[in-house]
Amino acid sequence: MMTYGGHARAVAVLGLPLVGGHLAQFAIGLTDTVMLGWYGVEALAAVTLAASYFFVLFLMGAGFGWAVMPMVAAASAAGDDTSARRATRMGMWLSVLFCAAVMPLLLWSQPILLALGQDPAVSEQAAAYLRLAGWGLFPALLVVVLKSYLAALERTQVVLWITLGAALANGLANYMLIFGNWGAPELGIAGAAIASIVTQVVSLAAVVVYALWALPEHNLFQRLWRADWEMFAKVFRLGVPIGLTSLSEVTLFTASAMMMGWLGTVPLAAHGIAVQLASATFMVHLGLSNAATIRAGNAFGRGDRAHMARGGKVVIAMSLVVSVVTICLFLLLPEPLMSLFMEPDDPARPEILNIGVGLLAVAALFQLVDGAQVMALGLLRGVQDTGVPMVMAAVSYWVVGMPASYLLGFVLGWGGIGVWMGLVAGLACAGVLLMIRFWTRGINLSAKA
């Protein structure tokens, strides 16, 4: 039996490149936020709103790509390369079909944003961003599928390097197109959208080339046009609950962005910065969660319950350590962290800092529960248990979190702090329910594989 130390080393070897890859992917959106924050407060508010809207759709569609990860991991443990290939292909099919279905929501987003009570000027800029950046959803979701395929085969180093290269390319393109440097036209928020599309296309090309070069025996793209309805249905059944679970969580944060927009442009800008910082730490938990999914998927494929239990304890402990470090940073260094996103002479800087420091203090509160819920989800996905966790997440985020945000923020008059306290309530509920689910039900599923 592998020792706890052995599990920790295995998770680190597998998970650290995934953490780095998620942070690099996050850096693409972060670059947009930082550079548009330098460009102007209204542009920052617009991209905050647009990014929240985009990721509602992206994370829902990414469910099919994330479903590929445990399926390929379990197939690999069982020595079934054919099933791994079939699952990946149908993951790509489902991702493209999803993109085609939701493109109208990206192309004509302004009426939706206005109906949600957003400022007309900010909504107009956000809609302009989405009309361009929306086309990047196609390559972005295909990249999720192929990265999941490679990660499940424990080829996480290449996932990291490809994403780092994409983040660097995005930063350079943003610098050129937002501000009009190096002879390019000054496009502002539209330049950020174009840079994001180019980055996603380059990422897709890189991951396709690597898959063809490193794994020719899988023939991943051979007869890609042929339907495989049996595997299509399997990926669909596993991916839809994953996508809806992600939708439940992201809509909680999107609803909070909408509520902050009701409070004004400056509170929304402060919310955008605080969310970016909280999201950066979440990427670490997400990388560990992906490692948990892969290792749980391997144990599931072998029917090894003892390995599952020890690995689960180790990865949860690693997530707790990350949470403690993050809490210290958010409580001790809020102003320096917030200042990274603003020009020193921005007239709105003092007000944004005043609001943002309070939001980061609340963000410190939900680090533990946010880490707990994503770790539990990763372990449950590894044993392909997604239906009940979806219901638990929906209840936590929609029935507990959203009403609590509105009640505390507006009925009780706590403003932005109240909105964020509602996030804490929803994440705490999800963390408790999902952990109970894994340790009472999910842990036993591995013995039945």
> d(Cα 419, Cα 412) in Å, to the nearest integer?
10
> d(Cα 314, Cα 325) in Å, to the nearest integer?
17
Per residue in 272-282, pLDDT tens? 888 878 888 88
> Three-state secondary structure along 388-425?
HHHHHHHHHHHHHHHHHHHHHHHHCCCHHHHHHHHHHH
C-beta atoms surrounding 345 within 10 Å: 6
- Please determine, for residue 35, whether its predicted confidence score (pLDDT) is greater than 50: yes
Cβ proximity of 69 and 151 under 8 Å: yes
Q: Which pLDDT belongs to residue 64?
A: 93
Q: Residue 31 has which token pair? A: 């670059």
Per residue in 308-335, pLDDT tens? 888 899 999 999 999 999 999 999 988 8
Query: Distances from the Cα of 293 to the Cαs of 73, 80, 188, 395, in angstroms?
Result: 8, 18, 39, 23
Mean pLDDT of 163-192: 84
C-beta atoms surrounding 63 within 10 Å: 29
Supply angle C-alpha 118, 123, 129, rounded to 5: 145
> d(Cα 115, Cα 118) in Å, to the nearest integer?
7
> d(Cα 148, Cα 277) in Å, to the nearest integer?
25
Mean pLDDT of 28-50: 75
- Please determine, for residue 37, whether its predicted confidence score (pLDDT) is greater than 80: no
Per residue in 199-216, pLDDT tens? 889 889 999 999 999 888
Cβ proximity of 313 and 4 under 8 Å: yes
> d(Cα 443, Cα 449) in Å, to the nearest integer?
11
**Percent of the residues in the chain that have a pLDDT greater than 70, as a whole number:** 98
- Please determine, for residue 78, whether its predicted confidence score (pLDDT) is greater than 60: yes
| pLDDT bracket for residue 449 (50, 70, 90) | very low
Cβ proximity of 423 and 366 under 8 Å: yes
Q: Which pLDDT belongs to residue 446?
A: 52
Q: Which pLDDT belongs to residue 31?
A: 74
- Please determine, for residue 448, whether its predicted confidence score (pLDDT) is greater than 60: no
Q: Which pLDDT belongs to residue 304?
A: 81
Helix (H) or strand (E) holding 29: helix 4-39
34 vs 65: which has the higher pLDDT: 65
The DSSP symbol for 228 reads: -
State the amino acid at position 93 in one-letter form: W
> d(Cα 382, Cα 294) in Å, to the nearest integer?
6
**Percent of the residues in the chain that have a pLDDT greater than 90, as a whole number:** 32
Please, what sign has the CA dihedral across residues 157, 163, 165, 171?
Answer: negative
Query: Distances from the Cα of 249 to the Cαs of 55, 56, 185, 407, in angstroms?
Result: 11, 9, 38, 18
Helix (H) or strand (E) holding 188: none
State the amino acid at position 250 in one-letter form: V
Domain that holds residue 397: 4-448
Q: Residue 339 has which token pair? A: 């200042």
96 vs 279: which has the higher pLDDT: 96
> d(Cα 310, Cα 9) in Å, to the nearest integer?
13
Q: Which pLDDT belongs to residue 442?
A: 76
Which residues are CB-neighbours of 233 under 8 A, at least 6 positions away? none
C-beta atoms surrounding 111 within 10 Å: 10
> d(Cα 442, Cα 382) in Å, to the nearest integer?
9
At 182, give phi and psi (nearest 5°): 60, 35
Domain count, the chain: 1
Which residues are CB-neighbours of 60 under 8 A, at least 6 positions away? 98, 243, 244, 246, 247, 250
Of the candidates 155, 135, 138, the residue with the CA atom closest to the CA atom of residue 147: 155
The DSSP symbol for 154 reads: T
Average pLDDT over all residues of the chain = 86
Q: Residue 165 has which token pair? A: 């290269």
Which residues are CB-neighbours of 63 under 8 A, at least 6 positions away? 239, 240, 241, 242, 243, 244, 245, 246
269 vs 403: which has the higher pLDDT: 403
- Please determine, for residue 41, whether its predicted confidence score (pLDDT) is greater than 50: yes
Cβ proximity of 150 and 156 under 8 Å: yes
Cβ proximity of 330 and 363 under 8 Å: yes
